[in-house]
Amino acid sequence: MTGFLKGCATAMVTPFGADGEVDLGRFGEMTEYQIQGGVSALVVLGTTGEPATMSEDEKSKLIKYAVERAAGRVKIIVGVGSNDTKKAAFQARRAEELGADGVLAVTPYYNKCTQDGLILYYRAICEATRLPVIVYNVPGRTGVNLLPATMARIAELPTVAGIKEASGNMAQVMETMRLIRGKCDLYSGEDALNVPILAVGGTAVISVVSNLLPAEVSMLAEAVLARKLYTANALSDRLAPLVKACFTEVNPIPVKAAMKLIGLDAGDPRPPLTPLSEEKLGMLREALSIARGEATR
């Protein structure tokens, strides 16, 4: 299927309060900030949302709250996926039951399954829910690279909406696009590659940096899709130092630190992740100032 997602979707952080518990009130503030910034969707419980350290009860409460708070103003896409196919299917069913608009299913991790195993995995998820399913390829985290030929086969599943590509390999991204064009969509899963991925046929970005500057990332996506590349490149140049700073340590450590700088305190990441160092916080502060147009490089 095509046309499910266009423009900018934000890979939302999960805010934790001083007691370490999920702060739904702060998540609501972040939701309103994103909607005001013009994003088209919120991705809840993706990598940036730290689901690996959350209980199933916490996840259910956050999904339910996100759906109710968004109230149809933007799409709510829920991160699912596991190294256990049955668990991934369960999470997809739960997302549908709680009112989500779609699911983002990361490839199995640690097990290092075969390419045929990936096809069976996504088929099981699609059979578990009527929601649109976004495939998520991020081999740097999972240890498994979903190859273009494999994605071409997965794209035949009728409820597969697209693939979030975070392999970092533009040659692979372009080959995937060639093979799935017209069957399902391609989404950028790396802020540093938003412009080129959209330029070769992508329809949306699923962004970490838009937690901080949703309006700017939305404008960048819209500019590329409208083929206004001069505007898109100017925005990309301004955002580039911030993109770099947001990945100086593993996501979401830097972006959670940066949320405090814009007045939306998301708390610290849960262990084993650690707070950002003071040295890198300074780099982040300067990059944020550049991205906002408050300073020059």
Asked if residue 51 lies in contact with residue 59, where contact means CB atoms within 8 angstroms, the answer is: yes
Q: How far is CA 65 from the centre of its chain?
A: 19
Residue among 218, 273, 241 at smallest CA distance from 37: 218
Number of H helices, E strands in the chain: 12, 8
Residue among 136, 137, 134 at smallest CA distance from 157: 134
Can you tell me the distance from the alpha carbon of 113 to that of 48, in angstroms, rounded to the nearest whole number?
24
Asked if residue 141 lies in contact with residue 109, where contact means CB atoms within 8 angstroms, the answer is: yes
6 is catalytic: no
Active-site residue, selected from the candidate residues 136, 244, 256, 280 = 136
Residue type for position 287: A
Can you tell me the distance from the alpha carbon of 99 to that of 148, in angstroms, rounded to the nearest whole number?
31
Active-site residue, selected from the candidate residues 59, 75, 164, 256 = 164
Can you tell me the distance from the alpha carbon of 153 to that of 19, in angstroms, rounded to the nearest whole number?
46
Phi-psi region of 250 (alpha: psi -120 to 50; beta: other; left: phi over 0): beta
Asked if residue 95 lies in contact with residue 132, where contact means CB atoms within 8 angstroms, the answer is: no
Residue among 225, 258, 10 at smallest CA distance from 235: 225
109 is catalytic: no
Query: Can you read off the two tokens belonging to residue 30?
Result: 């972040």
The catalytic residues are: 136, 164
